[in-house]
Amino acid sequence: MRRLLFLAVAFALAVPARAQLPDTLSHGATVSLLTILPGDALYSAFGHSALRVADPLTGFDAVFNYGTFNFEDPFFIPRFIYGKLDYFLSVTPFRYTIRASEIQRRPVIEQTLDLSPRQVESVYQFLRVNAQPENRVYRYDFLFDNCSTRPRDVLERTLGEALHFAPKPNPHESFRHLLDPYVADRPWLDFGFDLVLGATTDRIATPHEVMFLPDYLMEAFDYATVTRDGVARDLVARKDTLLRIENRDRKQAALPWPLILFGLLFLFALLRTGTALRRGVLPVTPSRADVALFAVTGLVGLFLLFMWLGTEHHVTKWNWNVLWALPTHAVAAYALWRNAWVGWLCHYFRAGAVLALVAFVGYFFAWPQAFHPAALPLMLLLALRAGWVARLLRSVRAPA
Domain range list for the chain: 2-170+206-243, 257-395
Is residue 181 predicted with pLDDT exceeding 80?
Answer: yes
Q: Are 188 and 258 in contact (CB under 8 A)?
A: yes
Mean pLDDT, the chain, as a whole number?
89
Q: In the beta sheet, which residues pair with residue 60?
A: 55
Q: In the beta sheet, which residues pair with residue 61?
A: 54
Confidence (pTM): 0.88
- Indicate if the alpha-carbon torsion angle 76, 42, 297, 293 is positive or negative: negative
pLDDT on residue 9: 39
pLDDT on residue 18: 39
Percentage of the chain surpassing pLDDT 90? 74
> Of the ranges 16-30, 99-113, 231-245, 369-383, which one carries the lowest mean pLDDT score?
16-30
Calculate mean pLDDT across residues 250-279.
89
Q: Are 175 and 205 in contact (CB under 8 A)?
A: yes
- Indicate if the alpha-carbon torsion angle 217, 218, 220, 225 is positive or negative: positive
Q: Are 244 and 109 in contact (CB under 8 A)?
A: no
> Per-residue confidence at 76, pLDDT binned at 50, 70, 90?
low
Q: Cα–Cα–Cα angle for 363, 333, 347, nearest 5°?
A: 70
Q: Which segments of 197-256 does DSSP mark as H helices, in order?
A: 214-223
pLDDT on residue 251: 66
pLDDT on residue 354: 96
- Indicate if the alpha-carbon torsion angle 12, 73, 71, 88 is positive or negative: negative
Quick: pLDDT tens for 150-169.
999 999 999 999 999 999 99
> Per-residue confidence at 180, pLDDT binned at 50, 70, 90?
very high
Calculate mean pLDDT across residues 178-195.
93
Calculate mean pLDDT across residues 179-197.
93
Q: Are 329 and 214 in contact (CB under 8 A)?
A: no
> Per-residue confidence at 249, pLDDT binned at 50, 70, 90?
low
Calculate mean pLDDT across residues 286-301.
95
Q: Report which of residues 1 and 354 the model is more confident about.
A: 354
pLDDT on residue 344: 87
